[in-house]
Structure formats: structure tokens, C-alpha cells
Chains A and B, each alone.
Chain A
Amino acid sequence: MSIASRLEPGAVVVPTLAEGRQPRPAEDSTERVNRLEIVVRYALYIVITLFLFVPFVMTVLSSFKTSAEVIAFPPTFLPSVWHPENYLNVLTQISGFPRMVFNSFFVTFVVVALNLFFDSLVGYAFARLEFPFKNTLFAIMIATMVIPGFVFIVPRYIMLLNAHLVDTYFAFMVLYFLQPAYILLMTQFFKSIPRDLEEAAIVDGLGWFGIFWKIILPLARPALLATGILTFQGMWNNFLDWVIYMQSPTMQNIQLGLVSFRGQYQNQWNLIMAGSVLAILPILIIYVAGQKYFVGGAATSGMK
């Protein structure tokens, strides 16, 4: 309970990095000391950047090499000959690759759509409506968010098995049609919207669903984007649930497909790297476009 109640609504939006937070001490420093300090400082930033980013650069470069060159010793940095056809080979050599891409996109889009609707609907009720057991339900939701997911895996698997939903897309729709972390995110957002608009609508005789659908949702764009982007990331990157609940070879997503390809062709490093680039590409595009919404993800990851 205490953990999630600390997630503030402000956490949804990226910090704007306000200027001048740490006033630089203007004490004794001569020009030279200052300059040295700046060099040391930037060296540190650059080392960290290399540390966190170079593996990605090398992955992209490796995806254009021959498999022998990827693990050649001594190593090469740039490919000696560029092999863009590696990407074509991924599409043709990994059996069922188009189907995996479809599975990934389909499940991700459906789950995102379900969450946009249900997370905001439930979030709206918690934020604005008065109904019996509201506070109890909200407290339950917060408290159960910290239950480790592995506790639920076996029973959910057996339940889905008995309902004949294992190995079907419906498994994901049942398990992820809403996510408490994003209900919480929506609730906090709705609490920040002024009530005037709804009050006018009540007088106009618009029902509660009408108010939610026509007046509130259009205002909730930032929170909906955050929910959508974070759900996209979670579903696109999901591996565990596909391993547990999907069993037939046609029901693999791109992540699982990459793992089984690597299991079959351990030495095709260039194709493994090209496949990795393809698997990260959609989420990378979304990250670059919607960076600020990922802060909320920081607050909610690990709580599912």
C-alpha cells in the first residue's frame, strides 16, 4: 500500500530539468582549475554514455557483418564489407518470422486498446464517482499491486488451460485487459482535472458514461498516451507470458522467435543481431517519439 501511494501524479510527466538546481561553488577556482574540472566532468559523462550505449552500437554494426566477423579476434569496429542482405535473410531463414511479427503487433495493439478503455473507465470511477466500497476497492488495488507475479503463474495457467484459452490470443486479453498500475495512473490524472466541466454536463443531463466518454476522455490525452505507450512497451517486450501460456510454434511473438532461432543457429551471430535490431526497432521509435511518458513506466515497472 505504502509503495504505490507514493507514486505522485507528477511522476507521469517527465521532469523538465529545471535550471540552476545546484549552484556551482564560486569559491577559489582559477581559470585552469575550472577548465580541468570541466574536462574531468565531461570525461565521466562520456565514459558512462559509452558504457550504456556502445553495446547497442556494436549490435547494429554486427548486424551488417558476416557471422565470422562478429566474433573475429582481433575484432573489427565497422564491417569490412557491409551485408544489408542479413536483414533479408532474417525474414527468410527464421521460419514463421512474418507470423511472429504479426503476433507481436496484434496482441500488443489489442491489449493497448483494452487498457486505454478499461484503465481509464475504472480510473475515472475511482477519481470522481461516489459508490459503495470505493475506498476498500481502491485500497485492495494498491495493496495487491506489490504481489509478485510468479505467485499467480501456476494457478492462472491451470485456469486458462481449463478454459481452453492456452495457446490462443484470448489468453493475453484475459490476463491484461486492465492493469492496476495504469488504473492508478489514470485515477491520479483525473483527480487533477477541474470539476467545472462535468458539473455543467450533469446539468445538461449527459449520463455518467456520456460525461466520461465525451468530456473527460478527450481531456485525458497525456495520461492515455502514457498508458498506451507503457502498455505497448510491456506487451511488445513480453517474453515470460509467451513462454508460459503459448505452446504451439505458430503462437510465438518476435521475442520468443528470436530465442528459438538462436537455439537452432547458435553461430549465426549476424542474423541474431539483425533479428535483435528488428525486435527493438518499434519500441525504439516509440521511445524517441514519446520519451517523456517513460518516466511513468519507471514508477510502475516491477509492480505487475
Chain B
Amino acid sequence: MVRWILAAMAALMMTAGLAAAQQGPLHIEIDEGVIEPLPYALPSFVDEGAGGLTHDITRVIADDLSGTGLFREIPEAAHIQRFGVFDTPVSYADWQAINAQALIVGAVGMSGGKVVVKFRLFDIYSGAQLGDGQQLAASPQSWRRLAHKVADVIYARVTGESGYFDSRVVFVSESGPKDQRQKRLAVMDYDGANVTYLTDSSTIVLAPRFSPQGDRILYTTFETGFPRIKMMDVGSASGQLLPEVPGTMTFAPRFSPDGNSIVYSLEQNGNTDLFQMSVNGGGAQRLTNSPAIETAPSFSPDGARIVFESDRSGTQQIYVMPVGGGEPVRISFGEGRYGTPVWSPRGDLIAFTKQAGGRFFIGVMRTDGSEERLLTASFLDEGPTWSPNGRVIMFTRESPGASGGAKLYTVDISGRNLKAIEGVGGASDPTWGPLLP
């Protein structure tokens, strides 16, 4: 009897298990994939009266997207479908045939003295338009910004994070031999185009920093013979030295995230500490009080903490402290020396310069110092700055030798896509500005 009962229970359990197995879908888990640039097709935009600008705008969009290393353009010679009219229906099979995963169709025309660009983005494997089409207009002089804005929209729709193409970088332009280097403040587009000089070369300038809104620039100038902090209004191109305490030197300034205050280094009697004051020059407040050298401060995006470098431990290391006061916490513990820390706009990483074994590195680490990753290495890499979306780092790379010079480079935070900014000549101390409105 007991055997019969056990057998019946076993059969019941088996049936229940079978039913469960049958009713649910086949379940699999995938935790590996491939990391490849996304292939996209960008047929030349339809010319609706813009002439040569049509081709130029198309190429700038392609350069923006392919330059990220996340996208790969399929050459136009491989395209099967051609677009003579902007509203031509998309033949998805033709684009699948050449393995395009995204398609950008656009047109450029003139209206009321302005360049008008309209475009649509298509997801080939979904067989549908990705987001709404957009139309942008600007003066002919701003055609590059138009192209950057189109690329920003496409980048954001595909990757899910904001773009960084329509942005500017302030930097120190360098010319002349190493022993007679002339330095000028300059601004360029993120890709090195449209270089504009803001100062002449009569005075050494260092470490320019954009305000969060991109309307002002802080930098260190030697025009008085000593390092002083100066703030330039980008709109009027006029500058103003910030107040100082007599007998001191001020340098390494940086704006707070709200743009209302400045954190900087002040040297007095041979000691350097961090101070903060409002942008109008009042309310100077000491942040550190140590016999060591504290410098290169940078705010966290929420403005609550400051990361800086200090040699209070005997070697140059990175520390984080609350803005409101509190004991700094050391976060770098690797071999070598760490400096020029900069907080990511996303708030999750800190970029830094590292010197070890006779080489310089640009790296990133978590805000608690964990997960340190070195992205570059060379004779001299230094001064990282983040793109507005926190995806790319720009920095200075100096080549050795008497004829060596400084150039600007960018690298993805994955460590891939390392490349030089061409067309600006000698350059150092970059700071990436915000995404333009």
C-alpha cells in the first residue's frame, strides 16, 4: 500500500514538473557579446540649394560619428539605394544587404539667408525610423555647428547618452622653440576647427578653465610678474584680475559647478593651500591648512566635494574632502605620483595624471580610488579634461627632445580610440567646455 502511495506521489510530481517545463519559454542567458563599431550608412545629404555646404555638412557629421570609435561608416560606394529626394522611402533590404544597422538621410537647403538641415535616422533591423526627424537652421557661418548638432542627436539616439560634438575647448596655444615658447590663450571646436586666439603672446598664461556655462574663462597669468588668477568674459573678451592678498601667489583656479565660486591654490610664505571665493572676488575662505602643497582642486558635479593633489604623505597623491570642511581622505595608493585630478561630469570617475617608472600616464579611478585604469602612457602625458558627457578625455602629450612639442590628444574612457587633435599645432592645458545651447 505504501509503495502504491509513493509511486502515485512520484508520478504527480513528475507530471507537475513536466507541465512547468512545457508552459514556460525556453530560457537562456547571454553574458558575452561583441564590441564593434556600429556600422552606419550616411548617404550624401540631398542638395536643396545649399551647394557645397551639403557635402561639407555631411562629411562633418560622418567625421563626428566615426571619430568616436563607436560607429563605422559604410562607404558610399557600397550603397545600393540612392536618395535623390529627401522623402524617398527607405528600402531596408538594400541596407541590410550591406550590413548597415543605422541609416541617416538628410537634406541641406537655404531659407531666409540661413542654412537649413533636415534629417531622419532609421534603425535598419527594426525597419523603422528612430525618433522624430529634425530640422535645424543657422547662419552660413555656423554650418559646422549645424553638423555637430545633427551628429549629437544621432549619437544620443543610438547610444543613449548625450553627445559632445557641439562643444569647445579652451587651451594654451604654444609656438616657438622650447626655450622661447610663446603661449597664447585660444579656443577651438572640440575637433580642432575654428581656432580663435584670446590673448597675445606677451605674457605667459597657464591652465585656462571654462565656466560651467561656457561664458567665462579662468586662467593663470604672469602679466604682473607673478602668477595671478584672471577671469575673462568670453562675450566681451575682456579680463579682470581677481583680488589677492599682498605677498601671495594664486594659481590653479577652477569654477564650482554652479559657476558662483572659485576654488584655487594660494601660496603664502612658502606654503600652498586651497582657498575658495566667490566669482566677484569676495569671501575668500581657507579650505586646507597643511604645511604640504595642496593644489589642482576640482569639484564633484554636485559641488559637495573637492578632489585635489597633495604631498602631505611625502609623495604627490590624490585626496578628496568635503567642501564644507573635513579631513581629506587619500584615495590614490598605487606606485608613483598622482596629480591633476579632475572629476567626471557623471560623477563616477576621477581622471588623473600618474608618473611612475619614468613615464607619464593618464588614468581613471572610482571616486573612492578603486578600479584604477591607466588609459595612456608616454614620455609626458598630463592635464586630463572630460568631455561634457564624460565619455572622452582630452589631455596634453609632450614629445621628447629639443624639437619636441606639446599636442592635444583624446582617448575614450575604455582606453580605445587614442588620437591626436590635428590642425591646432602646439597646444597644451586643454579644458573642455559645456555642450553649447
Q: Do A and B come together as binding partners?
A: no
Q: Which B residues fall within an 8 A CB radius of A?
A: none
Q: Which A residues fall within an 8 A CB radius of B?
A: none
